[in-house]
Amino acid sequence: MRVRALRSLAAAAIDPSSIAVGDAEAVRALGRGGRVIAVGEAAHSVTDVQTLQDAIVRALVTDDGPGSQAIAAIALESGFAESLELDAWIGGAGADADLGAIAQRCMTYNFGASPSVQRMLGWLREWNRANPDRRVHVVGTDLPGSSTSPGPAVEVCLDRIRPHATDADLRIRADLGARTEAAVRTWRMTDSERAALVRDIDGLIRRVERDPGADAVAHRSAASLRAYLAELDFDVLRTVDDAPEIYPRERFMAETVLWIAAQYGRTIVLAHNSHVRRTAFLGRPTMGTLLDGELAEGYRVIATSYAYGPLVRFVPRSARPFDCDVHLDQRGPVPGSIEAAIEALRPGFDDGAAHDAVLLDLREGDAPADSGAQPDAALAQAVAGSVGILAGGDLDPVDDFPATFDALVHLHEARRVPGAFERLRAEFGMGVPDAEAVEAVR
Protein backbone atom coordinates (compact mmCIF):
# COMPACT_ATOMS: atom_id res chain seq x y z
CA MET A 1 0.00 0.00 0.00
CA ARG A 2 1.21 3.47 -0.89
CA VAL A 3 0.40 6.95 0.35
CA ARG A 4 0.92 10.43 -1.06
CA ALA A 5 0.14 13.86 0.36
CA LEU A 6 -2.03 15.92 -2.00
CA ARG A 7 -1.17 19.45 -0.97
CA SER A 8 -3.25 21.21 -3.64
CA LEU A 9 -6.32 19.22 -2.61
CA ALA A 10 -6.39 20.25 1.05
CA ALA A 11 -10.04 20.92 1.79
CA ALA A 12 -9.88 24.59 2.73
CA ALA A 13 -7.78 25.46 -0.31
CA ILE A 14 -9.06 23.24 -3.12
CA ASP A 15 -9.12 25.14 -6.39
CA PRO A 16 -10.19 22.76 -9.16
CA SER A 17 -8.77 25.11 -11.77
CA SER A 18 -5.25 25.04 -10.35
CA ILE A 19 -4.59 21.54 -9.07
CA ALA A 20 -0.83 20.95 -8.85
CA VAL A 21 0.72 19.08 -11.76
CA GLY A 22 2.03 16.31 -9.54
CA ASP A 23 -1.31 15.82 -7.83
CA ALA A 24 -3.14 15.75 -11.17
CA GLU A 25 -0.71 13.14 -12.50
CA ALA A 26 -1.24 11.01 -9.39
CA VAL A 27 -4.99 10.99 -10.04
CA ARG A 28 -4.59 10.36 -13.77
CA ALA A 29 -2.31 7.40 -13.14
CA LEU A 30 -5.04 5.68 -11.14
CA GLY A 31 -7.52 6.03 -13.99
CA ARG A 32 -5.31 5.07 -16.93
CA GLY A 33 -6.48 1.87 -18.58
CA GLY A 34 -9.97 2.25 -17.14
CA ARG A 35 -12.96 2.28 -19.46
CA VAL A 36 -15.13 3.45 -16.56
CA ILE A 37 -13.59 5.41 -13.67
CA ALA A 38 -15.80 5.85 -10.64
CA VAL A 39 -15.13 8.68 -8.19
CA GLY A 40 -17.05 7.96 -5.02
CA GLU A 41 -18.73 10.47 -2.75
CA ALA A 42 -18.14 10.16 0.99
CA ALA A 43 -21.43 11.91 1.72
CA HIS A 44 -23.95 13.90 -0.28
CA SER A 45 -24.07 17.69 -0.08
CA VAL A 46 -20.56 18.17 1.32
CA THR A 47 -18.80 21.08 -0.39
CA ASP A 48 -15.24 19.82 -0.14
CA VAL A 49 -16.10 16.31 -1.34
CA GLN A 50 -17.89 17.77 -4.37
CA THR A 51 -14.96 20.09 -5.04
CA LEU A 52 -12.60 17.15 -4.75
CA GLN A 53 -14.68 15.27 -7.35
CA ASP A 54 -14.56 18.37 -9.57
CA ALA A 55 -10.77 18.50 -9.31
CA ILE A 56 -10.48 14.82 -10.20
CA VAL A 57 -12.86 15.26 -13.15
CA ARG A 58 -10.76 18.14 -14.49
CA ALA A 59 -7.53 16.20 -14.05
CA LEU A 60 -8.94 13.25 -16.01
CA VAL A 61 -10.69 15.29 -18.72
CA THR A 62 -7.59 17.39 -19.43
CA ASP A 63 -5.23 14.39 -19.49
CA ASP A 64 -3.37 14.42 -22.81
CA GLY A 65 -0.30 12.50 -21.69
CA PRO A 66 1.26 9.49 -23.46
CA GLY A 67 -1.20 6.64 -23.74
CA SER A 68 -4.10 8.69 -22.40
CA GLN A 69 -7.63 8.26 -23.76
CA ALA A 70 -10.15 11.08 -23.91
CA ILE A 71 -12.98 11.21 -21.38
CA ALA A 72 -16.24 11.24 -23.30
CA ALA A 73 -18.90 11.35 -20.58
CA ILE A 74 -19.64 12.12 -16.95
CA ALA A 75 -22.27 9.78 -15.47
CA LEU A 76 -24.11 11.32 -12.53
CA GLU A 77 -26.11 9.91 -9.64
CA SER A 78 -29.12 11.80 -10.93
CA GLY A 79 -32.16 11.10 -13.09
CA PHE A 80 -31.48 9.89 -16.63
CA ALA A 81 -34.58 11.51 -18.11
CA GLU A 82 -33.93 14.87 -16.45
CA SER A 83 -30.30 14.96 -17.61
CA LEU A 84 -31.10 15.24 -21.32
CA GLU A 85 -31.63 19.00 -21.12
CA LEU A 86 -28.52 19.36 -18.95
CA ASP A 87 -26.37 17.53 -21.51
CA ALA A 88 -27.67 19.79 -24.26
CA TRP A 89 -26.69 22.83 -22.19
CA ILE A 90 -23.24 21.37 -21.44
CA GLY A 91 -22.89 20.95 -25.21
CA GLY A 92 -23.58 24.61 -25.90
CA ALA A 93 -27.37 25.08 -25.94
CA GLY A 94 -28.90 28.09 -24.22
CA ALA A 95 -26.95 30.79 -22.41
CA ASP A 96 -24.20 30.69 -19.79
CA ALA A 97 -26.55 32.53 -17.43
CA ASP A 98 -28.91 29.53 -17.48
CA LEU A 99 -26.50 27.50 -15.33
CA GLY A 100 -28.29 27.81 -11.98
CA ALA A 101 -31.76 27.14 -13.37
CA ILE A 102 -30.58 24.26 -15.54
CA ALA A 103 -28.64 22.59 -12.71
CA GLN A 104 -31.55 22.79 -10.29
CA ARG A 105 -34.13 21.66 -12.83
CA CYS A 106 -32.10 18.87 -14.40
CA MET A 107 -30.36 17.28 -11.41
CA THR A 108 -32.49 15.23 -9.04
CA TYR A 109 -32.26 14.97 -5.22
CA ASN A 110 -31.57 18.76 -5.15
CA PHE A 111 -27.92 18.06 -6.04
CA GLY A 112 -27.91 20.82 -8.64
CA ALA A 113 -28.46 23.53 -6.02
CA SER A 114 -24.85 23.20 -4.85
CA PRO A 115 -22.47 25.98 -5.98
CA SER A 116 -19.67 23.38 -6.18
CA VAL A 117 -21.67 21.21 -8.57
CA GLN A 118 -22.65 24.23 -10.64
CA ARG A 119 -19.00 25.27 -10.89
CA MET A 120 -18.10 21.85 -12.30
CA LEU A 121 -20.96 21.98 -14.82
CA GLY A 122 -19.96 25.48 -15.92
CA TRP A 123 -16.38 24.33 -16.44
CA LEU A 124 -17.54 21.36 -18.56
CA ARG A 125 -19.53 23.73 -20.78
CA GLU A 126 -16.45 25.91 -21.19
CA TRP A 127 -14.33 22.83 -21.94
CA ASN A 128 -16.72 21.71 -24.68
CA ARG A 129 -16.77 25.19 -26.18
CA ALA A 130 -12.97 25.31 -26.31
CA ASN A 131 -12.50 21.64 -27.30
CA PRO A 132 -15.32 20.65 -29.68
CA ASP A 133 -13.32 17.65 -30.86
CA ARG A 134 -13.25 16.30 -27.27
CA ARG A 135 -16.90 16.91 -26.34
CA VAL A 136 -17.81 15.58 -22.88
CA HIS A 137 -21.40 14.48 -22.31
CA VAL A 138 -23.17 14.62 -18.94
CA VAL A 139 -25.76 11.89 -18.42
CA GLY A 140 -27.79 10.82 -15.40
CA THR A 141 -27.81 7.16 -14.38
CA ASP A 142 -30.70 7.18 -11.92
CA LEU A 143 -34.46 6.71 -11.77
CA PRO A 144 -36.78 9.61 -12.63
CA GLY A 145 -38.16 12.10 -10.14
CA SER A 146 -35.57 11.50 -7.42
CA SER A 147 -36.72 7.86 -7.53
CA THR A 148 -40.24 8.80 -6.42
CA SER A 149 -42.04 10.09 -9.54
CA PRO A 150 -42.18 8.46 -12.98
CA GLY A 151 -43.25 11.72 -14.64
CA PRO A 152 -39.98 12.86 -16.26
CA ALA A 153 -39.31 9.47 -17.88
CA VAL A 154 -42.92 9.18 -19.04
CA GLU A 155 -42.55 12.58 -20.75
CA VAL A 156 -39.36 11.49 -22.53
CA CYS A 157 -40.93 8.26 -23.76
CA LEU A 158 -44.14 9.91 -25.00
CA ASP A 159 -42.15 12.58 -26.84
CA ARG A 160 -40.27 9.88 -28.80
CA ILE A 161 -42.97 7.44 -29.91
CA ARG A 162 -46.15 7.56 -31.95
CA PRO A 163 -48.89 9.47 -30.10
CA HIS A 164 -52.00 7.89 -28.57
CA ALA A 165 -55.29 9.38 -27.44
CA THR A 166 -54.54 8.55 -23.78
CA ASP A 167 -51.15 10.30 -23.67
CA ALA A 168 -52.35 13.57 -22.17
CA ASP A 169 -54.06 11.77 -19.30
CA LEU A 170 -50.97 9.64 -18.61
CA ARG A 171 -48.72 12.71 -18.54
CA ILE A 172 -50.94 14.24 -15.85
CA ARG A 173 -51.26 11.11 -13.70
CA ALA A 174 -47.57 10.24 -13.91
CA ASP A 175 -46.48 13.68 -12.71
CA LEU A 176 -46.60 13.03 -8.97
CA GLY A 177 -44.73 16.19 -8.03
CA ALA A 178 -41.44 16.79 -6.22
CA ARG A 179 -39.68 14.08 -4.19
CA THR A 180 -41.59 14.20 -0.89
CA GLU A 181 -44.92 15.05 -2.48
CA ALA A 182 -44.54 12.16 -4.95
CA ALA A 183 -43.58 9.67 -2.23
CA VAL A 184 -46.58 10.70 -0.10
CA ARG A 185 -48.94 10.56 -3.06
CA THR A 186 -47.80 7.04 -3.92
CA TRP A 187 -48.10 5.96 -0.28
CA ARG A 188 -51.66 7.31 -0.09
CA MET A 189 -52.86 5.69 -3.32
CA THR A 190 -55.62 3.11 -3.04
CA ASP A 191 -54.80 -0.35 -4.38
CA SER A 192 -56.90 0.34 -7.48
CA GLU A 193 -55.26 3.74 -8.13
CA ARG A 194 -51.80 2.26 -7.81
CA ALA A 195 -52.65 -0.75 -9.98
CA ALA A 196 -54.03 1.55 -12.69
CA LEU A 197 -50.88 3.70 -12.73
CA VAL A 198 -48.63 0.64 -12.81
CA ARG A 199 -50.69 -0.87 -15.62
CA ASP A 200 -50.52 2.27 -17.73
CA ILE A 201 -46.79 2.78 -17.21
CA ASP A 202 -46.19 -0.86 -18.08
CA GLY A 203 -48.27 -0.29 -21.20
CA LEU A 204 -46.08 2.68 -22.12
CA ILE A 205 -42.94 0.57 -21.71
CA ARG A 206 -44.41 -1.97 -24.13
CA ARG A 207 -45.29 0.76 -26.61
CA VAL A 208 -41.68 1.95 -26.61
CA GLU A 209 -40.46 -1.60 -27.14
CA ARG A 210 -42.80 -2.08 -30.13
CA ASP A 211 -42.38 1.34 -31.75
CA PRO A 212 -39.89 1.13 -34.65
CA GLY A 213 -39.23 4.86 -34.36
CA ALA A 214 -38.26 4.80 -30.68
CA ASP A 215 -34.63 5.84 -30.26
CA ALA A 216 -32.01 4.69 -27.74
CA VAL A 217 -32.96 7.45 -25.32
CA ALA A 218 -36.60 6.33 -25.35
CA HIS A 219 -35.57 2.75 -24.65
CA ARG A 220 -33.29 3.79 -21.76
CA SER A 221 -36.07 5.96 -20.33
CA ALA A 222 -38.45 3.01 -20.58
CA ALA A 223 -35.87 0.91 -18.74
CA SER A 224 -35.84 3.52 -15.97
CA LEU A 225 -39.62 3.18 -15.70
CA ARG A 226 -39.30 -0.60 -15.49
CA ALA A 227 -36.82 -0.20 -12.63
CA TYR A 228 -39.10 2.36 -10.97
CA LEU A 229 -41.99 -0.12 -11.04
CA ALA A 230 -39.75 -2.91 -9.75
CA GLU A 231 -38.69 -0.73 -6.80
CA LEU A 232 -42.34 -0.18 -5.85
CA ASP A 233 -42.80 -3.85 -5.02
CA PHE A 234 -39.24 -4.88 -4.22
CA ASP A 235 -38.92 -7.50 -1.51
CA VAL A 236 -35.76 -6.76 0.50
CA LEU A 237 -35.81 -10.30 1.87
CA ARG A 238 -35.71 -11.94 -1.57
CA THR A 239 -32.48 -13.77 -2.32
CA VAL A 240 -30.64 -15.01 -5.39
CA ASP A 241 -28.23 -17.91 -4.85
CA ASP A 242 -28.61 -17.41 -1.08
CA ALA A 243 -27.51 -13.76 -1.30
CA PRO A 244 -29.73 -10.65 -1.10
CA GLU A 245 -31.04 -9.64 -4.51
CA ILE A 246 -29.66 -6.45 -6.05
CA TYR A 247 -31.95 -3.44 -5.90
CA PRO A 248 -33.55 -2.62 -9.27
CA ARG A 249 -32.21 0.93 -8.93
CA GLU A 250 -28.62 -0.33 -8.61
CA ARG A 251 -29.05 -2.61 -11.62
CA PHE A 252 -30.47 0.22 -13.71
CA MET A 253 -27.62 2.52 -12.72
CA ALA A 254 -25.01 -0.08 -13.71
CA GLU A 255 -26.73 -0.83 -17.02
CA THR A 256 -26.98 2.89 -17.75
CA VAL A 257 -23.28 3.44 -17.07
CA LEU A 258 -22.50 0.65 -19.53
CA TRP A 259 -24.93 2.21 -22.03
CA ILE A 260 -23.22 5.60 -21.65
CA ALA A 261 -19.77 4.06 -22.19
CA ALA A 262 -21.04 2.22 -25.27
CA GLN A 263 -22.72 5.35 -26.67
CA TYR A 264 -19.96 7.85 -26.03
CA GLY A 265 -16.75 6.23 -24.79
CA ARG A 266 -14.59 6.47 -21.69
CA THR A 267 -16.74 7.52 -18.74
CA ILE A 268 -16.33 9.00 -15.26
CA VAL A 269 -19.01 8.03 -12.73
CA LEU A 270 -19.83 10.36 -9.84
CA ALA A 271 -21.89 8.60 -7.18
CA HIS A 272 -21.85 7.74 -3.49
CA ASN A 273 -19.14 5.36 -2.27
CA SER A 274 -21.83 2.79 -1.47
CA HIS A 275 -22.86 2.66 -5.13
CA VAL A 276 -19.43 2.53 -6.77
CA ARG A 277 -17.78 -0.02 -4.46
CA ARG A 278 -16.85 -3.31 -6.11
CA THR A 279 -17.76 -5.60 -3.25
CA ALA A 280 -21.30 -6.28 -2.10
CA PHE A 281 -22.78 -4.01 0.55
CA LEU A 282 -24.18 -6.04 3.45
CA GLY A 283 -24.17 -9.00 1.09
CA ARG A 284 -26.19 -7.20 -1.59
CA PRO A 285 -24.54 -6.46 -4.99
CA THR A 286 -24.10 -2.81 -5.91
CA MET A 287 -23.80 -0.87 -9.15
CA GLY A 288 -20.05 -1.24 -8.79
CA THR A 289 -20.33 -4.99 -8.28
CA LEU A 290 -22.06 -5.33 -11.65
CA LEU A 291 -19.66 -2.95 -13.39
CA ASP A 292 -16.69 -4.88 -12.03
CA GLY A 293 -18.23 -8.10 -13.29
CA GLU A 294 -18.68 -6.64 -16.77
CA LEU A 295 -15.48 -4.61 -17.09
CA ALA A 296 -12.97 -6.30 -14.74
CA GLU A 297 -9.72 -4.29 -15.04
CA GLY A 298 -11.61 -1.73 -17.11
CA TYR A 299 -13.42 -0.56 -13.98
CA ARG A 300 -11.48 1.71 -11.62
CA VAL A 301 -12.77 3.02 -8.30
CA ILE A 302 -11.48 6.04 -6.39
CA ALA A 303 -13.35 6.53 -3.11
CA THR A 304 -13.37 9.72 -1.04
CA SER A 305 -13.57 10.18 2.72
CA TYR A 306 -13.28 12.81 5.42
CA ALA A 307 -12.67 12.51 9.15
CA TYR A 308 -14.32 15.64 10.55
CA GLY A 309 -17.30 17.47 9.13
CA PRO A 310 -21.07 17.61 8.77
CA LEU A 311 -23.35 14.76 9.71
CA VAL A 312 -27.07 14.83 8.91
CA ARG A 313 -29.33 12.51 10.89
CA PHE A 314 -32.93 11.62 10.11
CA VAL A 315 -35.26 10.60 12.95
CA PRO A 316 -38.55 9.13 11.65
CA ARG A 317 -41.76 10.47 13.16
CA SER A 318 -44.21 8.11 11.47
CA ALA A 319 -44.49 5.46 8.77
CA ARG A 320 -45.26 8.11 6.17
CA PRO A 321 -42.42 8.58 3.66
CA PHE A 322 -39.96 11.35 4.56
CA ASP A 323 -41.84 12.26 7.74
CA CYS A 324 -38.82 12.84 9.95
CA ASP A 325 -36.92 15.33 12.04
CA VAL A 326 -33.65 16.42 10.45
CA HIS A 327 -30.65 17.11 12.68
CA LEU A 328 -27.27 18.56 11.77
CA ASP A 329 -24.32 17.26 13.76
CA GLN A 330 -20.57 16.90 13.36
CA ARG A 331 -18.82 13.61 12.82
CA GLY A 332 -15.38 12.37 13.73
CA PRO A 333 -13.41 9.17 13.15
CA VAL A 334 -15.18 6.05 14.43
CA PRO A 335 -13.07 3.22 15.88
CA GLY A 336 -12.54 0.56 13.23
CA SER A 337 -13.05 2.99 10.35
CA ILE A 338 -10.46 3.60 7.67
CA GLU A 339 -10.75 7.29 8.55
CA ALA A 340 -9.59 6.54 12.10
CA ALA A 341 -6.65 4.53 10.74
CA ILE A 342 -5.59 7.38 8.46
CA GLU A 343 -5.97 10.07 11.11
CA ALA A 344 -3.90 8.09 13.61
CA LEU A 345 -0.99 7.98 11.16
CA ARG A 346 -1.53 11.24 9.26
CA PRO A 347 1.24 13.27 10.97
CA GLY A 348 3.82 10.71 9.87
CA PHE A 349 3.02 10.70 6.16
CA ASP A 350 5.56 11.81 3.59
CA ASP A 351 7.70 14.54 5.19
CA GLY A 352 6.36 14.23 8.72
CA ALA A 353 3.91 17.12 8.36
CA ALA A 354 0.19 16.77 9.00
CA HIS A 355 -1.38 17.14 5.55
CA ASP A 356 -5.07 17.82 5.10
CA ALA A 357 -5.42 15.61 2.01
CA VAL A 358 -3.82 12.27 1.31
CA LEU A 359 -4.08 9.70 -1.46
CA LEU A 360 -4.05 6.02 -0.56
CA ASP A 361 -3.14 3.79 -3.48
CA LEU A 362 -4.74 0.54 -2.36
CA ARG A 363 -3.64 -1.56 -5.32
CA GLU A 364 -1.81 -4.63 -4.13
CA GLY A 365 1.10 -6.76 -5.22
CA ASP A 366 3.16 -5.51 -8.14
CA ALA A 367 0.85 -2.64 -9.02
CA PRO A 368 2.96 0.19 -10.49
CA ALA A 369 3.89 3.11 -8.29
CA ASP A 370 2.63 5.42 -11.05
CA SER A 371 0.53 7.47 -8.65
CA GLY A 372 3.69 8.80 -7.03
CA ALA A 373 2.59 7.36 -3.69
CA GLN A 374 5.21 5.79 -1.44
CA PRO A 375 4.98 2.45 0.37
CA ASP A 376 3.79 2.68 3.97
CA ALA A 377 3.83 -0.58 5.93
CA ALA A 378 2.24 0.92 9.03
CA LEU A 379 -0.67 2.28 7.02
CA ALA A 380 -1.11 -1.03 5.21
CA GLN A 381 -1.39 -2.77 8.57
CA ALA A 382 -3.83 -0.16 9.89
CA VAL A 383 -6.04 -0.39 6.79
CA ALA A 384 -6.00 -4.19 7.02
CA GLY A 385 -7.41 -3.82 10.53
CA SER A 386 -10.16 -1.42 9.44
CA VAL A 387 -13.65 -2.86 9.15
CA GLY A 388 -15.50 -0.09 7.34
CA ILE A 389 -15.74 3.39 5.86
CA LEU A 390 -17.83 6.20 7.32
CA ALA A 391 -21.25 6.84 5.79
CA GLY A 392 -23.19 9.34 7.82
CA GLY A 393 -22.32 8.62 11.42
CA ASP A 394 -22.14 4.88 10.93
CA LEU A 395 -19.78 2.43 9.27
CA ASP A 396 -20.44 0.87 5.91
CA PRO A 397 -18.77 -2.54 6.37
CA VAL A 398 -15.76 -3.27 4.16
CA ASP A 399 -14.11 -6.66 4.56
CA ASP A 400 -11.31 -6.02 2.08
CA PHE A 401 -10.40 -2.46 1.11
CA PRO A 402 -8.09 -3.30 -1.83
CA ALA A 403 -10.81 -5.50 -3.30
CA THR A 404 -13.40 -2.75 -2.83
CA PHE A 405 -11.55 0.36 -4.01
CA ASP A 406 -8.41 1.02 -6.06
CA ALA A 407 -7.66 4.18 -4.15
CA LEU A 408 -9.03 6.58 -1.59
CA VAL A 409 -8.59 10.34 -1.33
CA HIS A 410 -9.00 11.38 2.28
CA LEU A 411 -9.69 14.85 3.66
CA HIS A 412 -9.00 15.69 7.28
CA GLU A 413 -11.98 18.04 7.41
CA ALA A 414 -14.90 18.98 5.15
CA ARG A 415 -17.76 21.50 5.11
CA ARG A 416 -21.40 21.18 4.13
CA VAL A 417 -22.96 22.71 1.04
CA PRO A 418 -24.46 26.09 2.03
CA GLY A 419 -28.23 25.79 2.38
CA ALA A 420 -28.37 22.02 1.82
CA PHE A 421 -29.29 21.20 5.41
CA GLU A 422 -31.94 23.88 5.47
CA ARG A 423 -33.46 22.51 2.26
CA LEU A 424 -33.55 19.01 3.72
CA ARG A 425 -35.14 20.23 6.92
CA ALA A 426 -37.77 22.18 4.97
CA GLU A 427 -38.53 19.18 2.77
CA PHE A 428 -38.29 16.29 5.23
CA GLY A 429 -38.73 17.94 8.61
CA MET A 430 -41.91 19.76 7.64
CA GLY A 431 -42.67 17.60 4.63
CA VAL A 432 -46.29 17.33 3.55
CA PRO A 433 -48.20 16.67 6.77
CA ASP A 434 -51.51 15.37 5.46
CA ALA A 435 -53.55 14.52 2.40
CA GLU A 436 -55.25 17.92 2.34
CA ALA A 437 -51.90 19.68 2.20
CA VAL A 438 -50.81 17.40 -0.64
CA GLU A 439 -53.84 18.49 -2.61
CA ALA A 440 -53.23 22.14 -1.73
CA VAL A 441 -49.77 22.22 -3.27
CA ARG A 442 -51.15 20.94 -6.55
With respect to residue 242, please indicate whether it lies within any of the assigned structural domains. yes
Average pLDDT over residues 178-206: 97
Q: What pLDDT score does 433 carry?
A: 43
- 47 is a domain residue: no
Three-state helix/strand/coil letters over the chain: CEEEECHHHCHHHCCHHHCCHHHHHHHHHHHCCCCEEEEEECCCCEHHHHHHHHHHHHHHHCCCCCCCCCCCEEEEEEECCCHHHHHHHHCCCCCHHHHHHHHHHHCCCCHHHCHHHHHHHHHHHHHHHHCHHHCCEEEEEECCHHHCCCHHHHHHHHCCCCCCCCHHHHHHHHCCCCHHHHHHHHHHCCHHHHHHHHHHHHHHHHHHHHCCCCCHHHHHHHHHHHHHHHHHCCCCCCEECCEECCCHHHHHHHHHHHHHHHHCCCEEEEEEHHHHCCCCECCECCHHHHHHHHHHHHEEEEEEEEEEEEEEEEEECCCCCCCEEEEEEEECCCCCEHHHHHHHHHHHCCCCCCCCEEEEECCCCCCCCCCCCEECHHHHHHHHCCCEEEECCEEEECCCHHHHCCEEEEEEECCECCCHHHHHHHHHHHCCCCHHHHHHCC
pLDDT tens digits, residue range 253-306? 999 999 999 999 999 999 999 999 999 999 999 999 999 999 999 999 999 999
Amino acid at 31: G
Residue 439 predicted with pLDDT over 60: no
Does residue 125 lie within any of the structural domains?
A: no
Q: What is the pLDDT of residue 370?
A: 65
Within a domain: residue 188? yes
Structurally, the chain folds into a number of domains equal to 1
- 71 in a domain, yes or no? no
Domain that holds residue 192: 148-247
pLDDT, tens digit (0-9, with 9 covering 90-100), for 59-77: 999 999 888 899 999 999 9
- Contact, 333 vs 339, CB < 8 A? yes
What percent of the chain is modeled with pLDDT above 90? 80
Longest dimension (CA), the chain: 72
**Rounded to an integer, what distance in angstroms lies between the CA atom of residue 214 and that of residue 163?**
12
288 lies in some domain: no
- pTM score: 0.93
| Domain assignment present for 233 | yes
Instruction: Give tens-digit pLDDT for 321-343.
Output: 999 999 999 999 999 999 999 99
In a domain, 356, yes or no: no
pLDDT at 185: 96
